[in-house]
Copies of this chain bind each other. A is one copy, B any other.
Amino acid sequence: MTQDDINKSDTQPDLGRRKFLNTAALVGLSGAGLSVGLTACNKESAPTAGAPSAPAAQAGAAAHGKYEVPPGQLDEYYSFSSGGHSGDVRIYGLPSGRQLKSIPVFNMDNLVGWGITNESKAILGTKPDGTPKYTTGDTHHVHQSYADGTYDGKYMFVNDKIHGRLARIRMDTMECDKITEIPNIQGFHGTFTDKRDPVDPSINHTTRVFCGAEFAIPLPNDGRDLDDPSKYKSLFTCVDSNTMEPRWQVLIDGNCDLVASSYDGKLACTNQYNTESGAVHYEDMMANEMDACLFFNVARIEEAVKAGKTSTIGSSKVPVVDGRRDSNKDPKTALTCYVPIPKNPHGVNISPDGKYYACSGKLSPTASVIEHELVLKWFDGDLANARDAVVAEPEIGLGPLHTGFDNRGNAYTTLFLDSQIVKWNVDAAIKSFKGDKDAKPVVDRIDVHYQPGHGFTSMGETREADGRFFNSDNKFSKDRFLPVGPLHAETAQLIDISGDKMLLVHDHSVLSEPHDSIIVRRDIIKTRQIYDMDEFPLAVKDPAESGVFRNGKKVTVKLTSQAPAFSLREFKLKKGDEVTIILTNHDKIEDLTHGFAIPKYDINFIVNPQETKSVTFKADKPGVYWCYCTHFCHALHLEMRSRMIIEA
């Protein structure tokens, strides 16, 4: 099927209520449209900082206090959230909405010393001068490892859109332990873990991570084909979840946006908003009335890789298979299947029963429901037209983006332009699509404030979806919080979805710019609060090992911390020394973390209980430098110092 075929397809839906949005209307949104919408909102609530706000009766608001997590009690869920171009991953408790941690991943973090310690630099990668290769990142999607179709509490994966990297976070310590830069891609937007092996039934857990590249570029991107966008291409990448090395890549037509994976391990997919080959301007990216949801047959791709039906690009050794339309015309051997979806879809999510993918139109007011078994049927050659895998396409509202699911067959989709969450029933949508005039897909709507991006349900991306909560991450907060200058926080709105009507529980603020989250039941997460000293090869296991060890200009300083003192009260160095400081925290009490800062040497890091960290720097400034504990530890915390003496 060619793009022309898709555009001419007689299966293009007839959209009644609101037609596809055209370029002019959308451009206008930045001015009149958006401002009108928000002015209206302002009029509705209009709290100002100067005047006390009256208790506004908000439609759909839940009773006060019912969801409050009082002092001494714990939240029921963890919410793990990407930090967007803050570069971190955040952990919130729900229903309280309290932020419990920021895990540094692609950002530099003074508190922890991420980007400062030798251990973190080894994970981040460095330039020849020893500084981190990149100091920025744009985390987009977080997903955890699975076993038996639900989270196994082992790993979390998150991607960086700016520099095309995938990071892994250990769930026991909640720290990043690996980062991989994926070759020959740009705009790494969507990612998802697989849920089981496509072939071996004994492997019923995550072994791969799928990664979609949104921006098409010359391959390799070394200065060739600069002015020939028709030669720009995107790759879809599979990374091994254990080694974190890329296993294979697929050359595709169009681009990759969000990514999903099936519960049986057989398919991965990505929505495509830019099927216009060579489109590099936004109005051209909107030219096609139909774009696609692109499916990957994982087992076939891995057979092709094994059979050596691969190429490589530039200096990369990662095998690349050909997933373009023209090379995959026979469904029975095809590696890929392009299912036509109305205009510039954004978001693809699989239902907890594993049966359906919801792929929203963004510039079409529809969500397309694709049946998993029908896509497999197409790959078997038993479905004439890939579009026939679409079994429903309800009109749900303007600017539909992401969909969460409950455990009762309902879907909840964020409507960016309508500033609403729409609840719709999948079975009713299928009946309606088949012609049943009595079937009403849309069940309920609730206003959110304002312009929701991602939305997600509790355990909604697992077979254990529980239908308790939906969290709407809204891109604009406008007047929802006290004003703090031009840069606003975003609003997360927690919605109780356990009943027939959605009920707004609360607004909680989130610092810009989270993109996606998952809500995980707390019993799944088993953390360690104290390290094992043996995990660290450099550990200074006995305070008696402390000292200054010189090898020419290379000097190693070994010390330990135990409140309220460092094992070395002072240590002497010479100007010009290349110094490595190794610090092991001997405190064993939960939460008894120490910090270590060196004035004028731009160093700060922490050591958690039983942890070891190291830093390396050049002693280029003679004088006395009071290294001090930066992380409050003890009544004598202020007195906890070590004196670094650098002789001229």
Contacts and interface: CB of A to CB of B under 8 A. Distances in A.
Contact of A280 (B569, B590, B625): B569
Interface string A267-300: 0000001100000111001100000000000000
Interface in A566-607: 569-570, 575, 587, 589-593, 595, 597-600, 602-604, 606
A86 B111 contact: yes
A177 interface: no
Which of A186, A218, A526 counts the most B-chain CB atoms under 10 A from its CB? A186
Nearest to A597: B162
A646 B172 CA distance: 44
Interface in A523-582: 523, 525-531, 562-565, 569-570, 575
A477 B591 contact: yes
A45 to B, nearest CB: 5
A93 B478 CA distance: 15
A55 B308 CA distance: 61
A282 B636 contact: yes
B30 A484 contact: no
A393 to B, nearest CB: 19
Interface stretch (A97-105, A367-375, A405-413, A433-441): A97-105
A457 interface: no
29 contacts: A26-B564, A26-B634, A26-B635, A30-B564, A30-B587, A30-B634, A71-B504, A85-B111, A93-B482, A99-B509, A100-B484, A101-B484, A111-B511, A161-B597, A161-B630, A162-B599, A189-B638, A215-B599, A215-B626, A223-B647, A226-B624, A280-B570, A451-B632, A453-B632, A478-B591, A482-B525, A485-B529, A488-B591, A512-B631
A175 to B, nearest CB: 7
A386 interface: no
A70 interface: yes
Given A70-B506, A76-B52, A485-B529, A599 B186 contact: yes
Interface in A90-115: 91, 93, 97-102, 106-112, 115
Q: Is the interface of A mostly helix, strand, loop or mixed?
A: loop
A38 interface: yes
Interface stretch (A134-142, A243-251, A327-335, A462-470): A134-142
- Report copies per complex: 2
A187 B630 CA distance: 11
A487 B61 contact: no
A486 B611 contact: yes
Contacts of A212: none
B111 A84 contact: yes
Interface string A60-103: 01001100101111111010000111110001010001111110
Given A85-B604, A483-B525, 12 more contacts: A53-B74, A98-B481, A107-B110, A108-B108, A111-B512, A136-B604, A174-B487, A280-B570, A282-B639, A344-B639, A346-B638, A486-B608
A626 to B, nearest CB: 4
Contacts of A511: 99, 101-102, 111
Contact of A487 (B27, B523, B593): B593
Q: 4 smallest A-B Cβ distances: which pairs?
A: A65-B65, A30-B563, A223-B622, A223-B648
A394 interface: no
A220 to B, nearest CB: 8
Contact of A634 (B29, B215, B529, B606): B29
A175 B85 contact: no
A516 to B, nearest CB: 12
